[in-house]
């Protein structure tokens, strides 16, 4: 099974989708641990409820940002995960910890990247008047939400949407998007090479549409 470490800052519904899929036998993986920058993250409680080691490392307990990043990623790697998944992890990750982990770190982001990097993506999508919105899974680089996109899921924006309704429609597609991307990675079908994302041994010209 693919050994996955999960980073989460909040609710943890994407983590729960992973745990449920593993339990149901539809994802050949094992969660080695769940890590958070917040002690009160619901994701930690969900992990403990599932018997998964869960640990908070609060930035304020460290001298500076690089030492927090280093401590957390060294602790994560002690479990020897194949893949580190940011599932609602709301902190920037420093370039110094990313370099040695390139291609082993992915993030799920609530927009059709490269549109709407950063925060408040649903409100911004509404204000921009786009007809389509969605979620993306990408390899993490030092550029915020800027790494190579592996896969996307699309939803329509409806006339009477507000940010909460749109967010809920996207989230419902995020869970299967993340799970399906993990299945592709677990099967060894997706890799990050120097020139971009490779799927089944060939350079991908566009993200997988899942």
* Residue number, 41 or 197, with CB nearest to ligand GAR: 41
**Token output for 38:** 């917040």
Q: Does 13 bind ligand GAR (CB under 6 A)?
A: yes
Q: Residue 8, interface with ligand GAR (CB under 6 A)?
A: yes
Segment lying near ligand GAR (by CB under 6 A), choices 8-16, 46-54, 147-155, 202-210: 8-16
Nearer to ligand GAR among residue 154 and residue 198 (C-beta):
154
Which is nearer to ligand GAR, 11 or 191 (by Cβ)? 11
Characterise 126 by phi-psi region: left (phi > 0), alpha (psi -120 to 50), beta (else): alpha
Binders of ligand GAR among residues 86 to 145 (CB under 6 A) are 87-88, 90, 108-110, 135
Choosing from 109, 122, 138, 175, the catalytic residue is: 109
Answer yes or no: 133 catalytic: no
Candidate segments 24-32, 61-69, 83-91, 191-199, binder of ligand GAR by CB under 6 A: 83-91
CA of 124: how far to CAs of 33, 64, 104, 107, in Å?
A: 33, 31, 30, 20
Is-contact 6 35, C-beta < 8 A? yes
Tell me the longest C-alpha to C-alpha distance in the chain: 49
CB of 201 to ligand GAR, least distance (A): 29
Q: Which has the closest alpha carbon to 21: 181, 199, 151?
A: 181
13 is in an annotated binding site: yes
Smallest distance, ligand GAR to C-beta of residue 3, A: 20
Q: How far is the CB of 171 from ligand GAR (least distance, A)?
A: 5
Cis peptide before 114 (omega within 30 of 0): yes
What number of residues does the chain have? 210
- Taking the least distance from each CB to ligand GAR, the nearer of 172 and 198 is 172
The SS3 call for residue 2 is: strand
Q: Does 14 bind ligand GAR (CB under 6 A)?
A: yes
52 assigned to a ligand binding site = no
First to last CA, the chain: 22
Sheet holding 105-109, edge to edge: 54-56, 29-36, 2-7, 83-86, 105-109, 132-139, 149-156, 208-209
Known binding positions: 12-14, 65, 90-93, 107
- Catalytic center residues: 109
* Contact positions vs ligand GAR (CB under 6 A): 8, 10-14, 87-88, 90, 108-110, 135, 171, 174
């Amino acid at each position: 099974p693919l050994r996955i470490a999960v980073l989460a800052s909040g609710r943890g519904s994407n983590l729960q989708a992973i745990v449920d899929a593993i339990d149901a036998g539809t994802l050949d993986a094992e969660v080695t641990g769940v890590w958070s920058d917040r002690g009160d993250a619901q994701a930690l409680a969900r992990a403990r409820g599932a018997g998964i080691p869960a640990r908070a490392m609060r930035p304020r307990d460290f001298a500076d940002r690089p030492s927090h990043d280093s401590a957390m990623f060294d602790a994560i790697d002690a479990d020897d995960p194949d893949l580190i998944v940011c599932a609602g992890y709301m902190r920037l990750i420093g370039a110094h910890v990313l370099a040695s982990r390139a291609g082993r770190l992915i993030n799920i982001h609530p927009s059709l990247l490269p549109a709407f990097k950063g925060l408040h993506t649903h409100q911004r999508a509404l204000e921009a008047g786009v007809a389509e919105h969605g979620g993306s899974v990408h390899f993490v680089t030092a550029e915020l939400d800027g790494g190579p996109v592996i896969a996307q899921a699309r939803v329509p924006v409806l006339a009477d949407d507000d940010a909460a309704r749109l967010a809920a429609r996207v989230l419902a597609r995020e869970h299967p998007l993340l799970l399906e991307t993990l299945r592709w990675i677990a099967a060894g079908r997706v890799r990050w090479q120097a020139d971009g994302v490779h799927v089944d041994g060939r350079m991908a010209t566009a993200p997988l549409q899942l």
